[in-house]
Structure 1
Amino acid sequence: MQLRFTILLPEDWTPEQAWAVQDCLDERLVQIQTAITQLDLFGADFDDPLPF
């Protein structure tokens, strides 16, 4: 499920400034999705007791 939201930018921003914000947010989203995917690699076994 993907949630969507809106960020209101100042009206005096140039299109280039708005796109720069979009690019930064897109890059951050990819980083977050990658981190979540890496956490999923542990699966259900993550809470297993330690072997010592």
Structure 2
Amino acid sequence: MTPQARLTGEPIMRILCKKTDTLVGYLYQWNNGDLQPAWLNDSMSDVRYAPMLEAA
């Protein structure tokens, strides 16, 4: 964790369940470089990270 305040964050990766391949959260990167998962429900350990889909 950095001493600089977290002011803004953006999702940089999708967090997907390895078993069902369903979306379970997003990985955010904050303005100070910190990374933080944001879970849609309960946190999970058996996950994989995938790049964000680009808008068409």
Q: Using structure 1 for the length normalisation, give the TM-score.
A: 0.20
Larger Rg: 1
Which structure is higher in strand share?
A: 2
Q: Which has the higher contact order (CA 8 A, sep 6+)?
A: 2
Structure 1 or 2: more helix by fraction: 1
